[in-house]
Amino acid sequence: MLWRWHFYAGLFCIPFIILLSITGSLYLFKPQIEAALDRPYTNLVMTGPSAPVSQQVQVALKHVEDSSFKSYRLPDGPKDAAQVLVTKGGEDTIVYVHPTSLEILKAIPREARLMAVVRTIHGELLMGDNGSLIVELAASWAIVMVVTGLYLWWPRTAEGLQGVLIPRLKSGPKVFWRDLHAVSGMWVSFFALFLLLTGLPWTNVWGKGFDMVLPRIGPKAGRLSAKRLNRPSLTTGMMRLIMSPMLTILPRVRGQPDWLHLSPSPRQTPEIPIGWRAPQLETASAASRLPLARQMAAKSAARPLATSM
Amino acid sequence: VIDQALGVGIAAHEGQLFGLLNQLLGVLTALGLVLLSVSAFVMWRKRAPDGVLGAPPPIPDQRIGVGLGLLIFVFALFLPVLGACLILVAIAERLILSRVPSLRQFLGLAQPAPL
């Protein structure tokens, strides 16, 4: 009977499993992919000292009409474009500003970035809450698939490891495909189950239900909401918390960018809070200023900065 | 503790918990799942006769034992969307799917119990 369940569930799950596997794999490499996508906006040609942050923000605000300021991301390096997050009518746009010339290098809606689109496919199949429900349903059934699959695979007649832990690839096509499925399934099951279970907090039904149950079982209740999980900031925050001991060992492993939240109102002049990585930024740019100033005179005339989008 | 476990789970799910190895594990798992899907599809197409879905044949008059029944109940509680789906499918099978002979044959369902 479990085989029948495994079969019907499989028919439904397979397309989603393939889609989620592909988008999930892409999204895993978000830091690397985004760094590669942002490479054109790093190592810029500098023509003097960086303009004050307030000016960079003003330029960004002017670029997207009637927008208000949301946050400013400190550049990773002194020659990187500043990323200013502005918002207008509920849509956030990231504006890349050249730190010295104040040129707008790029402006892209936050949700239109490649990785944001991949995340939306992975989480809701580009269909909003309905898609999220389908993903949750497929994930729930996939959990059943793993469990019933393991039960079906469970060796009842001991004949050694062949066909249980090691696939028999040379015993005819039927055995080949059966073993490929059963043996790889066994190896993958633990990790697949882990991903399926850890994915549940993102879902609407399970995630929201969990939020409601959490206050009753944990003292630090209700701080995590499923909706908030969709926003990178909380995830980033938690990741940093967890990873902080590791970060000291592996300085190159980084989570998502630091969005430095400055004044939320567009009227106020944003300022970098003193002490918040600002000294590091200062010294870095000061150090690179001297040799650059001379280089630039020659280069900037020959190669105008690319302005895309 | 739950917060922390959740945080670790989320970070690991996103491949951010322990660097490149975490990412590679994720990709390997995804590849494994694709392999499972493909091999499942091949096995199904090799086995399925033309014109029907090729579901495993139902075992006549098999009752669900207490243990399995409890297990299904726990799963349906833990995964509410699964539970709702089970109820919907059970109703659809009872009322429609197994009462239309061509559908029943295509899906490989058992003869319906009289209402």
The least confident of A8-17, A31-40, A269-278, B94-103 is A269-278
Of B3, B32, B53, nearest to A188 by CB-CB distance is: B32
Q: Which residue has the higher pLDDT, A173 or A292?
A: A173
Q: Which two tokens stand for residue B58?
A: 């139902």
Decide: residue A212, CB within 10 A, 0-12 exposed, 13-18 middle, 19+ buried: exposed
Residue A236: other Cβ atoms inside 10 A = 20
DSSP codes, A221-285: TT---HHHHHSHHHHHHHHHHHHHHHHHH-TT---SPP-B---SSSSSPP-PPTTSSHHHHHHHH
Among A25, A37, A20, A85, smallest CA distance to A231 is for A85
CB A198 within 8 A of CB B17: no
Q: What is the pLDDT of residues B67-83, one digit of tens each?
A: 888 888 888 888 888 88
Question: Which residue in chain B has the smallest CA separation from A192?
Answer: B29
Q: Which residue has the higher pLDDT, A18 or B64?
A: A18
The least confident of A36-50, A289-303, B17-31 is A289-303
Q: Which residues of A touch B17 (CB under 8 A)?
A: 239, 242-243
Residue A14: per-residue pLDDT: 93
Residue A307: per-residue pLDDT: 35
Distance from CA of B112 to the nearest CA of A (A): 16
Per-residue pLDDT for B57 more than 70? yes
CA angle A278, A114, A240 (to 5 degrees): 40
Q: What is the mean pLDDT of chain A?
A: 72
Please state the rounded mean pLDDT for residues A111-138: 88
Instruction: Work out the pLDDT band at B34, boundaries 50, 70, 90.
Output: very high
For the CA atoms of A138, A139, A140, A142, the dihedral, rounded to the nearest 10 degrees, stands at 90
Q: Which residues of B touch A229 (CB under 8 A)?
A: 10
Of A28, A188, A220, nearest to B3 by CB-CB distance is: A220
Query: What's the DSSP call for residue A43?
Result: S
Residue A230: per-residue pLDDT: 47
State the angle between helix axes of B66-78 and B80-95 in degrees (0 to 180), rounded to the nearest 10: 120
Cα of first residue to Cα of last residue in chain B, in angstroms, is 50
ipTM: 0.87
How far apart CA A247 and CA A254 sit, in angstroms, is 7
Per-residue pLDDT for B51 more than 70? yes
Q: Is the Cβ pair A18, B79 closer than 8 Å?
A: no
Q: Which residues of A touch B73 (CB under 8 A)?
A: none
How far apart CA B67 and CA A64 sit, in angstroms, is 62
Question: Which segment, A109-118, A156-165, A199-208, is predicted with the most confidence on average?
Answer: A109-118
